[in-house]
Structure 1
Amino acid sequence: MPKGKGKKKQKEKTTDDGAGSGAVLMFSGPSQIVDDTDSICSSIPDSVLSDESFDDSADSSSDTELQFQVSEALDNLADKNSRTRMAALNYLNDKLKHKMVGQYIVGRTETLIDTLVRGIKRSQGGERKELLLLASLFPLQFGEDCADITSLLLSVLVPIIMDNSVSPPERSMAISTLTLCTFLLCHDMKLVEDIMHHCESLCSSCKIDLIVSAAIKGWSLLLSILPIHMIPAILTRQTPILTKVLESASDLSLKISSGQALSLLFELTRECNEDLLECEEAEVACAVVQSLASESNRYSGRKERTQQRASFRDFSQAIESGYVPERSIKFGSESLQLDSWARLIQYNVLTELLATGCRTHLMNNGLVRDIFQLGPPVLPYLETKATKIERKLINAASAKWRSQARGKQRDKRCVL
């Protein structure tokens, strides 16, 4: 083939494959179209290119800078670009977990609640899960100042929870958010009971382990704050459902959630009237829990079998004799005693939500301290640094002591 024609074809191929002057490139962000005649960087906002405006540098910055960062993140929750919104959500969730930043959001609570409700309704996937996490963390720092959030979220979250077309992680997160907000803020026991009925419906009808486990955890959390006179009816209604879940469940997390729920239910029943535990439903539940405490299925791993047997031995003793595995959680100069199944379940829910930030909230969050009856926050002891003269005297005394100790150990022989 002649060289000229080959060169011509090669040139035409390059022109077809490359982006011409009028070509359009798709940017990774949603609905972002960038003309290649312009610089890509000049066409994209700084907040989209990187998350530098929401990095952890605020941890070491002054309160003024932190307040500015929080305010900017709140503004960006309503941004049109999804990456900007996600960066703002990640930043706010991280700060609400590990710092007390409620004072920086005072005056904007109504706007934030409205943004959360609209965002949860419209979004989906990862953004919806981050919004649900923010909706869980928000009332933890504001308490009664955002008491309306439960009733507003109820109308949005219940349809999501009951919609089979929504992904299981989103539905389970919605259950956790709704039950936690109700636990923290709701004083209407009728509303609490209605939400518990939704959880019970999922326990008996849903076949997805992740959703059923979240429903049982949320149900247990709300059960821990119910008036004692409501317990007998719940014992009769819910014990067979939890027993059936235990018999059919293959997921260890679901089994443990059900075992904890039964332990709490029997603990509260003993406080109400121990004679109620003589019913047939309680005996069947006790037998199922005992069988799981000694189960040795080969299809599950060794670690999983060990954890199941250890957990269900505790549940079996709790159901039979009211046993509670007491734990002491130390933080700073204080300690938290988990001496009931109610407290243990409440603490587990908070640690799942806050992770490493739980210690900060136990020390400084008034609402969390009220839940566990820890009293007002304890002021940290302020240590004063020794002056230069004091350090000199301490070093001189140490040097003198070392010299004397060495002298006693030496062999002081005279040289003739």
Structure 2
Amino acid sequence: MPRARKGHAPRRGGQRRGGGARSSTQADSPSSDDEAASEILSHYSSTSEGASIAEENLGNEVVDEQAQQEELEEKLKECIDNVADKSAKTRLGALESLRLAFSSRVLLDFLLERRLTLTDSLEKCLKKGKGEEQSLAATVLTLLCLQMGSGPEGEELFQSLRPLLSSILTDTSANLGARHSCATALGMCCYIAAADVEDLVSCLACLESIFSGAYGEEASTAPAPLHPLHCCALQAWALLLTICPGSHISRVLDSQLPRLPRLLSSDSVHLRIAAGETIALLFELGRDLEEDFLYEDTDALCGTLRALATDSNKYRAKADRRKQRSIFRDVLHFIESGECQEETIKFGLECMYVDSWVRRRTYTAFKETLGSGVRHHLQNNELLRDIFDLGPVLVLDAAAMKASKISRFEKHLYNSAAFKARTKARSRVRDKRADVL
């Protein structure tokens, strides 16, 4: 089933044009900006001289990169073999190495030849491993699916391991950490590689059965150890809602939107936040279906959201209170006005705008899976570029790549020069002896 993504396409390009009037003093000193710019350029020229020398070594750098790539592949081959080792410690080390490698690099060509071997090994880890091993195996499976993409290889991977992920997730005797990872893996793999609506609806129902256990009469009565599991399942469920057909969204609005506000009283700040963001997402999806979408208990809901947005209870951790207030202010503002807080994500020479709750949930899901590697994947992974409408991968020659990468020392020199020039320019303006008309 092709993904029917919602949300605005990202706007790529340069910086926004800023407003703001200049002061009268600045207007009367038009030469100060030019002088500052010239001083910056003259100070920074010493660093540009080194750039020409560096360009001569580009050929050597390419050779070094190829050697590094070959060395990496040899290590990965060893790790893939070690995932099937008899020693649990060896398997854990191999899984962790694969997790780091898959999250930080795009390795599609390398993995296509070895995906069946790795899939079989991951299946054994999920079936026979203990909690930590199962958890890591589910995470590596998610990253492998992300590397394979939405084509036949990704679909085959998802179909082969979906029953096992669902089985561990719903097994109340299974390790909680393993169940958390399986909830995330089920949501992410389904989002990436689900072939038809039946698979999507099945995964939604499985995830819904998990977090529905947090409702009860009072959300605060749910056992604390289960809060992270409920949170993971709810977030994975919300991710899948972003690609659901309108007919299913309508049923979810009727069945789940009236119940979700109960989770806003949970003792877990993470579950409260996940519930608030999911409510905002459902309002956005509802308004996409009907311009005049209305929720009967909007006034009561806004009252609860307002209380959470101004919560100052001292028994909550300060960082939790700050994060909660910030997010619930955004949720409340969206429900009342329909405006979503915009976030700009910069990576390489590009940037992406997260300007809807659909895009926010999608980007957050991939960011949590990839960690610090999310920007590399946004630049180079065709799957993510397709999901976020970023177009084909930008192909830059070696010189352009070198120009876009400024060393830490060069950045220091440039910032130092800019600071000095800016200080001099401001000093001239602030000098009492300066002519001020």
Give the TM-score, by structure 2 length.
0.71
Query: 2-side partners of 1:234 and 1:101: how far apart?
Result: 37
State the identity %.
Answer: 33
Query: 2-side partners of 1:154 and 1:285: how far apart?
Result: 36
Q: Which whole-Å deviations, capped at 9, do the CAs of 1:116-135 have from their partners, x for residues lacking one?
A: 22220111122111111110
Moved over 6 A (4+): none
Which residue in the other structure is 1:302 paired with?
318
Q: Which amino acid aligns with 1:74?
A: I
Query: 1-side partners of 2:207 and 2:259: how far apart?
Result: 11
> Which deviates more, 90-99 or 64-73?
64-73
Query: 2-side partners of 1:63 and 1:204: how far apart?
Result: 46
Is contact 1:229–1:272 with CA below 8 Å preserved after alignment? no
Q: Which amino acid aligns with 1:229?
A: S
1:346 aligns with 2:352: no
Query: 1-side partners of 2:157 and 2:296: how far apart?
Result: 40
Query: 2-side partners of 1:277 and 1:111: how far apart?
Result: 51
Q: Which amino acid aligns with 2:179?
A: R
1:63 aligns with 2:79: no
Q: Which whole-Å deviations, capped at 9, do the CAs of 1:347-374 have from their partners, x for residues lacking one?
A: 1111111111111101100001111000
Task: Decide which of 119, 138, 163 is 1:132's aligned counterpart.
Answer: 138
Give the TM-score, by structure 1 length.
0.74
Report 1:93-242 matches (<5 A).
93-143=99-149, 144=151, 145-206=153-214, 207=222, 208-242=226-260
Query: 2-side partners of 1:332 and 1:99: how far apart?
Result: 15
Query: 2-side partners of 1:283 and 1:188: how far apart?
Result: 38
Q: Which amino acid aligns with 1:96?
A: F
Note the C-alpha offset of 1:212.
Answer: 0.8
Which residue in the other structure is 1:265 paired with?
282
Q: Any unmatched runs of 5+ in structure 2?
A: 1-63, 215-221, 404-437
The SS at the match of 1:276 is coil
Q: Which whole-Å deviations, capped at 9, do the CAs of 1:197-245 have from their partners, x for residues lacking one?
A: 2222222215311011001110110011112232221111111221111
Note the C-alpha offset of 1:59.
Answer: 8.6
Task: Decide which of 243, 257, 263 is 1:245's aligned counterpart.
Answer: 263
1:112/1:69 Cα in 2 relative to 1: closer, same or farther (>3 Å)? same
Report 1:300-379 matches (<5 A).
300-379=316-395
1:343/1:191 Cα in 2 relative to 1: closer, same or farther (>3 Å)? same
Note the C-alpha offset of 1:186.
Answer: 0.7
Q: Which amino acid aligns with 2:135?
A: K
Note the C-alpha offset of 1:262.
Answer: 0.6
Q: Any unmatched runs of 5+ in structure 1?
A: 1-57, 387-416
Note the C-alpha offset of 1:136.
Answer: 0.7
Which residue in the other structure is 1:10 paired with?
none
1:159/1:284 Cα in 2 relative to 1: closer, same or farther (>3 Å)? farther
Q: Which amino acid aligns with 1:168?
A: L
Q: Which amino acid aligns with 2:263?
A: V
The SS at the match of 1:329 is strand
Note the C-alpha offset of 1:105.
Answer: 2.0
> Which deviates more, 318-327 or 330-339?
318-327
Note the C-alpha offset of 1:188.
Answer: 1.4
Note the C-alpha offset of 1:60.
Answer: 9.0
Is contact 2:135–2:179 with CA below 8 Å preserved after alignment? no
1:265/1:256 Cα in 2 relative to 1: closer, same or farther (>3 Å)? same
Query: 1-side partners of 2:235 and 2:79: how far apart?
Result: 31
Which residue in the other structure is 1:81 paired with?
87
Structure showing greater Rg: 1
CA RMSD, Structure 1 to Structure 2 (Å): 2.1
Q: How many aligned positions are there?
A: 327
1:380/1:265 Cα in 2 relative to 1: closer, same or farther (>3 Å)? same
Q: Which whole-Å deviations, capped at 9, do the CAs of 1:43-99 have from their partners, x for residues lacking one?
A: xxxxxxxxxxxxxxx999532222222122112211112222122212111111111
